[in-house]
Homo-oligomer: A and B are copies of this chain.
């Protein structure tokens, strides 16, 4: 019998909770037989949503949590005070070993803080990075770090590169993933102080496949599989990527609706365009893992619908099967041993 992966789900997190979260959970249960789910949240609300579906009741359990952390709450305070929130209760399941993973579409800040404070870091990991996948011309790349802790040190970036490589190779299935550092020019001597200090460290790191600097204009082309950067830059890249995409697509649509002739054309190109744009739909790729913790924590988009939730839950199974955290632990401890 296959090993069971136990995933705790924040049933109250995100714009479409609990309806889409519950729907996604039910969908994941039917897709993946080795899955056991904890739905963490307000019992009545979750029950009422669940009553709409037929699902394997032996593999799903409701864990009551009476509070909800709102998007706008200061995260440190929220984690400290709302002990009975779905995020705190769900993360405790991971800390206590009852769940392998926690998935939330709720407040990014609270998930990041909770991950560090409740789930805790793997020994040796200096800073757990948030690492979303995003679509490129070649498939997907991992952007690491997009978290909330900015002003990183070079040693952080080296760990990001190692953890990101392990994730891309064993969860996404990219053999010998290419690692690039975000820079403002291709030459080694370019960059800000952080990049200049980090570059030689990455170059010397034998466990990764470092290809040097990646300019922002090459990121969408998929030049590197693992894109290393400090979180301020990572946030800019991720959000600008979404913003430019949204603006361009809406302008293209507006353009198509501007004349009778183009409206007819739009009807004809629509099916073909739909599949193109689907490639650039981040929901296809599931949530962003917060790596380097004693358990898996995944943040999905606040606007997540059932599909993204379901895809993210299924990712957790691969994460466990591939023993990602054991691999990260070994990699980080090898580093510590080498330094002694």
| Residues of chain A having any CB pair with chain B under 8 Å | 136-137, 148, 150-151, 182, 184, 191-193, 195, 215-221, 231-233, 235-252, 254-256, 258-259, 261-262, 264-273, 275-277, 279-280
How far does the alpha carbon of A240 sit from the alpha carbon of B248 in the complex, in Å?
Answer: 13
How far does the alpha carbon of A247 sit from the alpha carbon of B136 in the complex, in Å?
Answer: 8
- Give min CB distance, A77 to chain B, whole Å: 12
- Give min CB distance, A264 to chain B, whole Å: 6
Contact A215 B239 (CB under 8 A): yes
- Give min CB distance, A93 to chain B, whole Å: 28
How far does the alpha carbon of A262 sit from the alpha carbon of B274 in the complex, in Å?
Answer: 11
In the A-B complex, list the 4 residue pairs whose CB atoms are closest, starting with the nearest: A265-B268, A255-B276, A265-B269, A262-B272
- Give min CB distance, A138 to chain B, whole Å: 10
Cross-interface CB contact of A266 among B232, B251, B265, B280, cutoff 8 Å: B265
Cross-interface CB contact of A216 among B182, B240, B277, cutoff 8 Å: B240
Cβ–Cβ < 8 Å partners of A242 in chain B: 217
Contact B232 A251 (CB under 8 A): no
Cβ–Cβ < 8 Å partners of A280 in chain B: 248, 251
- Give min CB distance, A228 to chain B, whole Å: 13
Contact B239 A192 (CB under 8 A): no
Cβ–Cβ < 8 Å partners of A245 in chain B: 244, 248
Cβ–Cβ < 8 Å partners of A182 in chain B: 236
How far does the alpha carbon of A50 sit from the alpha carbon of B232 in the complex, in Å?
Answer: 49
Cβ–Cβ < 8 Å partners of A136 in chain B: 247
- Give min CB distance, A285 to chain B, whole Å: 16
Contact A137 B247 (CB under 8 A): yes
How far does the alpha carbon of A262 sit from the alpha carbon of B275 in the complex, in Å?
Answer: 12
- Give min CB distance, A55 to chain B, whole Å: 36
Q: Could you list 20 further interchain pairs (A-B, Cβ under 8 angstroms) beyond the known A192-B232, A252-B252?
A: A136-B247, A150-B191, A151-B192, A182-B236, A216-B235, A220-B246, A220-B247, A237-B240, A240-B240, A240-B241, A244-B248, A248-B248, A251-B279, A252-B276, A255-B272, A255-B273, A255-B275, A259-B271, A265-B270, A269-B269
Residue of B nearest to A242 (CB): B217
Can you list 24 residue pairs at the A/B interface with Cβ under 8 Å?
Answer: A136-B247, A151-B192, A182-B236, A215-B239, A216-B236, A216-B237, A216-B240, A216-B243, A217-B246, A233-B233, A233-B236, A244-B244, A244-B245, A248-B248, A251-B276, A255-B269, A255-B272, A255-B277, A258-B275, A261-B271, A262-B271, A264-B265, A265-B272, A268-B268
